[in-house]
Chain A
Amino acid sequence: MSGAPESSWTVKVREKAVEALPPEKLLPDGQPTYVASWIYMFGVASIASLVVIIASGSILALKGPAWWHYTGVGHFFNSIHMWAVELFFFVMVVHLWGKYWMAAWRGGRSRVWVTGAITFLVAVPTALTGYVSQQNFDAQWISTQAKDGLNAVGVGAFFNVTNFGQMYSYHVLLLPIAVVVLVSAHVLLVRRHGVVPPIEVGARLASVPAADGPPPATAGAGS
Chain B
Amino acid sequence: MSLLRPKDDTRPWTGSYQPYDLVKEACIAVGVIALLAIVLTVLFSSPDDKPSTIAQWSRQMPVDFVKTAATELDGTSGTATYGPPYNHNGEGQHAAFIHLQKWLGVSHPINTADDYVIRPLETIPDDPALQRALAEYDAAPEKTQKAWGQAYAKPLEEDAEAEEEGKPPPKTVTVNSTTGMVSVQASGTGPVPTMMTSLLSLAQSGGLDGSLLTSRQFFQTDYTKPLLFMADGGLLDQRAEEQHLGGDEWGMMNETGSYPGQAWLWLYAFWYQIEPFKNSENADILVMLAMGVLSLAFIAIPFIPGVRDLPRKIPIYKLIWREHYRAIKPRSNA
Contact = CB atoms under 8 A, between A and B. Distances in A.
A152 interface: yes
A21 interface: no
A84 B17 contact: no
Nearest to B21: A29
B72 to A, nearest CB: 16
B15 A145 contact: no
B328 interface: yes
Most chain A C-beta atoms within 10 Å of own C-beta, residue among B8, B252, B314, B332 = B252
B14 A206 contact: yes
A141 B46 contact: no
B187 interface: no
Given A48-B32, A206-B13, A30 B20 contact: yes
Interface residues of B, number: 103
Contacts of A138: 47, 49, 255-256
A213 B16 contact: yes
A165 B252 CA distance: 20
B85 interface: yes
Given A139-B51, A149-B288, A30 B323 contact: no
A35 B13 CA distance: 11
Given A162-B223, A199-B311, A206-B13, A102 B320 contact: yes
A117 B252 contact: no
A116 to B, nearest CB: 9
Nearest to A68: B48
Interface in B208-261: 221-224, 227-228, 230-231, 236, 239-240, 245, 247, 251-252, 255-256, 259-260
A32 B245 contact: no
A17 interface: no
Nearest to B5: A110
A165 to B, nearest CB: 3
Interface in A106-136: 106-108, 110, 113-114, 117-118, 120-121, 124, 127-128, 131, 134-136
B25 interface: yes
A65 B265 CA distance: 24
Interface SS majority for chain A: helix
Interface stretch (B96-104, B113-121, B151-159): B96-104
A75 B303 contact: no
B251 A84 contact: no
A149 B322 CA distance: 45
Given A107-B12, A137-B239, A200-B312, A212 B301 contact: no
21 contacts: A27-B23, A28-B20, A29-B21, A52-B34, A75-B48, A79-B41, A103-B312, A110-B303, A114-B299, A117-B299, A137-B49, A140-B227, A144-B227, A151-B92, A153-B100, A160-B224, A165-B222, A194-B13, A203-B11, A207-B14, A208-B328
Given A48-B32, A141-B239, 14 more contacts: A31-B18, A102-B311, A121-B298, A121-B299, A124-B265, A137-B50, A141-B252, A151-B82, A154-B101, A198-B321, A199-B311, A205-B15, A213-B16, A215-B17
The 9 closest A-B pairs by CB, nearest first: A165-B221, A107-B10, A154-B104, A105-B302, A213-B17, A152-B284, A154-B100, A48-B29, A208-B15
Interface of B: 8-23, 25-26, 29-30, 32-34, 36-38, 40-41, 44-52, 82, 84-85, 92-93, 100-101, 103-105, 107-108, 221-224, 227-228, 230-231, 236, 239-240, 245, 247, 251-252, 255-256, 259-260, 262-265, 268, 282, 284-285, 287-289, 292, 295, 298-303, 308, 311-312, 314, 316-317, 320-325, 327-328, 331-332
Interface of A: 27-37, 39, 41, 44-45, 47-49, 51-52, 55-56, 68-69, 75-76, 78-80, 82-84, 86-87, 89, 93, 98, 100-103, 105-108, 110, 113-114, 117-118, 120-121, 124, 127-128, 131, 134-146, 148-154, 156-158, 160, 162-166, 168, 194, 196-216, 219-220, 222
